Amino acid sequence: MKVIGKNIPRVDALGKVTGRAVYADDIKIPGMLYGKVVRTKYPHARILSVDVSKAKALPGVYAVLTAKDIPGSNRVGVAITKDQPIIADDKVRYMGDAVALIAARDMKTAEKAARLVEVQYEPLPVVVDQEEALSPNAPKIHEKGNLICHHKVRKGNIEHGFKEADIIVERLFKTQMIEHSYIEPESVVAEPLEDGGVRVTGCMQNIYTTRRVLSAVLNLPLHKIECVQTHIGGSFGGKDDSMNIIASRAALLALKTNRPVKITYTREESMIDSYKRHPYKLYYKIGLKKDGSICAMEIKIFANGGAYASMSEFVTWRSVVQATGPYRVPNVSTDIYAAYTNLNYTGAMRGFGSPQIILANETLMDECAQLLGIDPYTFRKKNLFVTGDTTATGQVLPGYVSINDVVDAVVRASDYLNKWRMYKERQGEPAVKKRGIGLACSYRGVSLGAEGADFGSCVVNLQEDGTATLSIGITDMGQGARTAQAQFVSELLGLTLDRIKVLEINTSRSPDSGPTVASRGTLIAGNAIKDACSKIRKTLERVATDFVGASQEFVFEDNMIINPGTKESVPIERVIRECVKRKLPLSEAGFYAAPYTNWHEEEGQGLAYFTYVYGANIAEVEVDTETGKVEVLKVWSAHEVGRAINPEGVKGQIYGGVAMGLGLGLIEEFEFKDAVPQTINFDEYLIPTSMDVPEVVPIIVENPDPVGPFGAKSVGEPANELAAPAILNAIFNATGKRITETPANLEVVLLGKKLKK
């Protein structure tokens, strides 16, 4: 292959490094107003009255909107439950809720007007803990009660399974709320259109989802709404719902004032408003036989959904499916509950319900090895999936199962076993600084699986000069999607990369490819592009026959069409010109529908995902036993990705994923006091810096998947889910102390638990 599997530089790199790339907040339109959100003063309160008269009277103010001004629905959502208001009406449920919206000639005036909005509240008691939220006496956040959803998995016979066990372990794990920390805060510009519709341009991760929400809120048909995506300054799953809300707010103001309106959140607004990663409480119980095999697992998980349902229904489903990890477990009973609280709502974030369960499960697996008196690698090898095994949901794993290869690769590269033994022996020594090494493994369903309609579409448009444009709905939010897409077109049509342009995403012009989530971008885009390009090739081959003779296997390479039999070749643009003369189509739509999946909610069984990826991380750490400070020295990260379309891109995902995982494991926590956010800028909300991130050794394992384009599967989210548990297990290897709570900050490492603030 010419370009697939090669380290192709990013197609969007030059624009970004020269500053020519346009981000949402760069946009200025003549006559544009500035929008401001007036937010609640209480995390939970009944709204008694909203008086906007003084704000409206302020010179330079063009509109002040309350919930009454919303023409359509004021209850939106991206999953199943639609419960989130664009502007709060009866109640406020978290500190990010809006009570009014303002459009003014400049930001200063808008801010002044915001202070003039008078709201009377009746404060209500708050609930912050997800388990407490489900007790009958908890304050009710929504009419229907505080349960957002419950999913389960049932396999075998759990009582029977535990009866066979020689060792039974029960552990509770707790994970924290964390922030996506994209560098670019939420930003959109809304413009009224001449037909009464609206255009919203901004950093939305999924513009078709945004359009759906806008349609409901504005009471406009889809075709009158145009959503345009700018470059995105990071998302990590975070520019889904939050962007729908800000887009709706800007569009309401634009239609009311009949002028363009821009809203860009400050960092503080972004952190107060946006959704986060779900904090989980995970109760794990596992039964082991003396021979080292797992006979039963019983799991109960409580997810903190915050004020609105958002993606909770889908996030927790992925958790319940994957909760027992890449291991053979004959008897399984898993339950997960998501509950409303008065914290920020929680939704999609890189990993999407997997980092929490892997953290718990992999820490537990390490402890199981300890209790059996064997090393963590040998214990895992005894139980890891092999080809033909059945998952907890009763699915026979498709294709060759590579997890053993992945684990072996990372164990070999890091000299894990020798180091693990050496550090274990040194645990009792009096040294202040102690080293340790830890292993963690995972498997992950690729794409949406049974949680959604899994399809992709695109248009490839061949130009008369032998160049091509690609229009597709799969988003580049920094992960390199456009580059991979250009590589697919290049490989399939034999065009050099300088001849390909991947177009901006616009709901009026680009075909919908479903949301860019669930590490589905490469597989979905590649397959849709393959479909379009194979149609174009058929046309070109028919005409090329007249130039270079007939062949069963034309080669498309370096902008030429080659007959390998006659060795004759013709420039592709000559064939194209001939196609134009003969009135043949050179623009083709491509479509891809993912293979069948299913889910039986009642039985807790199903064919959850059409294929899986496998990963393993090893972390080596040094723990200061006097301060509890953990320094991560090195991380080896192995991922089976099917096929690496752009190896440097895959490595980039691994480096970033490990850094983010380190943040989850050791550093980050979005904190509240009585449901009021406390860490609302990066002076207090700490993320890893370049000084915290160690050397990362990426190991790419290939195992081309029959479903993937050129065999490609995914890496974006898997790369993020393994560093934290590997680090926690390394801390144990160094100190003999088991960490069951994140972040493993100084208190947790030193004292075993977080001190209450």
230: three-class secondary structure by DSSP: coil
Structure tokens at 14: 């030059």
List the structure tokens of 245.
Answer: 């809300």
Residue 518 interacting with ligand MOS (CB under 6 A): yes
Q: Helices 354-372 and 312-322 sit at what angle, rounded to 10 degrees?
A: 20
Give yes or no for a contact between 719 and 151, defined as CB atoms under 8 angstroms apart: no
Instruction: Indicate which single residue of 247, 348, 731, 739 sits in contact with ligand MOS (rule: CB under 6 A).
Output: 348
Q: Is 358 in the site for ligand MOS (CB under 6 A)?
A: no
Choice from 32, 138, 403, 517 touching ligand MOS (CB under 6 A): 517
Q: In this structure, what token pair is assigned to residue 169?
A: 């372990």
Whose CB is nearest to ligand MOS?
237
Question: Is residue 275 close enough to count as binding ligand MOS by CB under 6 A?
Answer: no
Site map (CB under 6 A) of ligand MOS, residues 422-451, x = contact = ------------------------------
**For ligand MOS, the closer CB: 209 or 563:** 209
Q: In this complex, which beta carbon is closest to ligand MOS, that of residue 45 or of residue 518?
A: 518
Token pair listed for 560 = 């030429």
Residue (211 or 520) nearer to ligand MOS, CB: 520
What residues contact residue 520 under an 8 Å CB cut-off, 6+ apart? 446, 447, 448, 454, 514, 714
Q: What is the rounded CA–CA span in Å between residue 287 and residue 372?
A: 12
Stretch that binds ligand MOS, among 83-91, 343-351, 356-364, 582-590 (CB under 6 A): 343-351
Class of residue 695 by CB neighbours under 10 A (exposed 0-12, middle 13-18, buried 19+): exposed
Give the residue with the Cβ less far from ligand MOS, 319 or 735. Answer: 319
Nearer to ligand MOS, 517 or 532 (CB): 517
Which part of the chain contacts ligand MOS (CB under 6 A), choosing from 22-30, 301-309, 347-355, 639-647?
A: 347-355
Of the ranges 226-234, 273-281, 348-356, 370-378, which one interacts with ligand MOS (CB under 6 A)? 348-356
Q: If residue 312 lies in a helix (H) or strand (E), which one and from where to where? A: helix 312-322
Question: Minimum CB separation from ligand MOS for residue 517, in Å?
Answer: 3
In three-state secondary structure terms, 332 is strand
CA atoms within 13 A on the CB side of 551: 23
CB nearer to ligand MOS: give 182 or 732. Answer: 182
Backbone angles phi, psi at 676, to 5 degrees: -105, 120
Contacts 24+ apart (CB under 8 A), 121-124: 121/40, 121/41, 121/42, 121/45, 121/46, 121/47, 121/48, 121/92, 122/45, 122/46, 122/48, 123/42, 123/44, 123/45, 124/42, 124/44, 124/45, 124/46, 124/91
Binding mask 235-264 for ligand MOS (x = CB under 6 A): --x--x------------------------
Q: Could you give the dihedral angle defined by the CA atoms of residues 79, 83, 88 and 92, in that order, rounded to the nearest 10 degrees?
A: -110
Closer residue to ligand MOS (CB): 184 or 191? 184
Give 438 or 449: the residue with its C-beta nearer to ligand MOS: 449
Among 281, 350, 639, 643, binds ligand MOS (CB under 6 A): 350
Sketch the per residue contact string, 77 through 96, with ligand MOS: x for CB under 6 A, - otherwise. Answer: --------------------
User: Is the bond preceding 585 in cis, omega lying within 30 degrees of 0?
Assistant: no
- Say if CB 134 and CB 337 are below 8 A apart: yes
CB of 275 or CB of 685, closer to ligand MOS: 275
197 vs 615, which CB is nearer to ligand MOS? 615
**C-alpha distances in Å from residue 560, one per residue of 145, 487, 568:** 65, 17, 10
State the minimum distance, in angstroms, from the CB of residue 717 to ligand MOS. Answer: 6
Q: Which stretch binds ligand MOS (CB under 6 A): 3-11, 31-39, 344-352, 392-400?
A: 344-352
Rg (CA), the chain: 27
Report, in Å, the least distance between residue 533 CB and ligand MOS: 27
| Interaction mask 294-333, ligand MOS, x per CB under 6 A | ----------------------------------------
Smaller CB separation from ligand MOS, 477 or 561: 477
Q: How far apart are CA 700 and CA 650, in angstroms?
A: 8
Comparison of 235 and 733: residue with beta carbon closer to ligand MOS: 235
**Contact residue for ligand MOS among 38, 332, 349, 495 (CB under 6 A):** 349
352 sits near ligand MOS (criterion: CB under 6 A): yes
Task: Please report, as residue ranges, which positions from 161 to 200 form the binding site for ligand MOS (by CB under 6 A).
Answer: none
Q: Name the segment binding ligand MOS (CB under 6 A); options: 117-125, 267-275, 345-353, 654-662.
A: 345-353
Which tokens go with 669?
A: 């926590």
Q: How far apart are CA 25 and CA 21, in angstroms?
A: 11
Q: Token pair 């009582």 is at which residue?
A: 159
Note the residues at the interface with ligand MOS (CB under 6 A).
Answer: 237, 240, 348-350, 352, 517-518
